[in-house]
Structure 1
């Protein structure tokens, strides 16, 4: 159901964009303002404005329907009526995890460089060409 409404919505969007672009603007734009055509200038303007209005109403309706479908499976939640979630203690006892005291990522990388036999740079180095 939702897929069908999305496809209809996208078709309405594409036709709505086309009808807006075909309308005659002050600067000419993409409006086909030539005298040759199946309708007069006034008739074309009325047809395009009515078409745009109908498509805009369809766009609005499908947007509301899609929002209604998306919100249909939500369950109301209250922060006042719900008891707090019970927090269980770990099975191994209450031993807090302590952060490593050996430094950080930079110290770890420095140790890896020393293990690989490369001396750690003492400060900023100029780039070397290879």
Structure 2
């Protein structure tokens, strides 16, 4: 259960598609730190948590929760896609960004839970 509670914040961001070229990514307009609030609406994961996600060159490069591997991007259509993992546990998130805010859904197949996330620019 503790690992699930640590992983939920990471699902903050979002099914995966590998990008062959950076040409499909958004500009650097969304680079920086984003404060993300994650809420569980289905399943037995932590009910709510907050994390900070760092975006650089339109790619998700870090998350404030330790021990979590992150991968993701914001594409040219302003779609957010991310995957966050810790060992065998994984969380996926997707959504959209507009201006200084973003929102979407997340799910964790390994823990049978999911919910919504919202983000605002932190810097």
TM-score normalised to structure 2 length: 0.21
TM-score normalised to structure 1 length: 0.20
Does 1 or 2 have the higher relative contact order (CA < 8 Å, sep 6+)?
A: 2
Q: Name whichever structure is richer in strand by fraction.
A: 2
Please tell me whether Structure 1 or Structure 2 has the larger radius of gyration of its CA atoms.
Answer: 1
